[in-house]
């Protein structure tokens, strides 16, 4: 049923996943978020659905230390927040990853208790390492290409220190760093995106026009970027990294 729900303006975007709906409205748009939200509410009424306004949040992304910024007015009874969780990832209005890194490290610390129990029962290090990868490393890998480019050196130090602790406790049999995880996960996802049938392929730019038949790399046009945040985003970062 959600397939017939669309945005009012083509400038804006709507992202639908299961029962979650996210609307993205840029600064320069011909239709504001208030109009888009009323459109969604009307669609819900027509389809006899109830919007969970208590779980609906509005977040305004902005560059750090931007001058002359004015927070837009709130929409109806929707709460404006500086940080919100979307599909398991915490996003902050400044696009910093402090909250998300703290969240996943807290989860991973809790899961170490499972490893402690398994080791006490005599599980060999090889099998224990497999479990550690499944319950801890896999948690950090979740959506890592999307948020990994925005973490700071301090974040990396905290995550790497956690990895060293796992190894020192005898829960893993090999060294690992967050930079290794970011590099491999980003490279794997970008390679999949380059396949025309892949669902994310349309996010890539057009191919470059070149007379060089020995053109190496991905062959896509390199986007222009004016901010560090844009450069560190997954697609822009990958286009320059794998050129």
Contact 108, 165 (CB under 8 A): no
CA 88 to chain centre: 9
Contact 219, 207 (CB under 8 A): yes
How many other C-beta atoms are found inside a 10 Å radius of the C-beta of residue 216?
8
**89 lies in some domain:** no
- The bridge status of strand 57-59 relative to strand 89-92 is unpaired
Contact 132, 108 (CB under 8 A): no
Domain-terminating residue out of 81, 108, 132? 81
Tell me: do 107 and 177 sit in the same domain: yes
Domain-terminating residue out of 81, 116, 148? 81
Nearest CA to 58 among 84, 36, 35, 32? 84
Overall domain count for the chain: 3
**Which structure tokens are listed for 241?**
């990294």
3-class secondary-structure state, position 80:
strand
Distance CA 219, CA 82 (A): 38
Tell me: do 174 and 215 sit in the same domain: no
Which regions of the chain are under pLDDT 70? 1-2, 64-71, 210-216
**190 lies in some domain:** no
Domain that holds residue 137: 98-182
pLDDT tens digits for 187-202? 999 999 999 999 999 9
- The bridge status of strand 13-17 relative to strand 20-24 is antiparallel
pTM of structure: 0.85
CA 15 to chain centre: 13
Q: In DSSP terms, which residues pair with 105 in a beta bridge? A: none
pLDDT tens digits for 191-230? 999 999 999 999 999 888 765 555 567 888 888 888 888 8
**Which structure tokens are listed for 164?**
């060293």
């Amino acid at each position: 049923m959600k397939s017939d729900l669309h945005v009012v303006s083509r400038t804006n975007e709507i992202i639908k996943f299961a029962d979650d709906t996210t609307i993205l409205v840029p600064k320069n748009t011909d239709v504001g978020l208030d109009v888009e939200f009323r459109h969604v509410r009307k669609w819900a009424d027509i389809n006899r659905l109830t919007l969970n306004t208590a779980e609906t949040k509005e977040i305004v992304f902005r560059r750090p230390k931007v001058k002359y910024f004015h927070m837009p007015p709130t929409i109806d009874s929707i709460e404006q927040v500086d940080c919100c969780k979307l599909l398991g990832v915490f996003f902050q209005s400044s696009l910093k990853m402090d909250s998300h890194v703290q969240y996943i490290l807290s989860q991973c610390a809790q899961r170490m208790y499972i490893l402690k129990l398994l080791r006490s029962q005599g599980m060999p290090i090889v099998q224990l390492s497999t479990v550690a990868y499944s319950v801890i490393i896999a948690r950090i890998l979740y959506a890592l290409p999307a948020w990994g480019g925005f973490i700071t050196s301090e974040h990396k130090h905290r995550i790497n220190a956690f990895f060293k602790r796992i190894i020192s406790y005898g829960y893993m049999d090999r060294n690992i760093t967050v930079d290794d995880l970011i590099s491999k996960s980003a490279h794997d996802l970008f390679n999949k995106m380059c396949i025309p049938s892949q669902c994310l392929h349309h996010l890539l730019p057009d191919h470059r026009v070149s007379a060089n038949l020995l053109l190496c790399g991905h062959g896509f046009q390199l986007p222009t970027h004016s901010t560090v945040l844009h450069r560190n985003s997954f697609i822009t970062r990958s286009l320059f990294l794998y050129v």
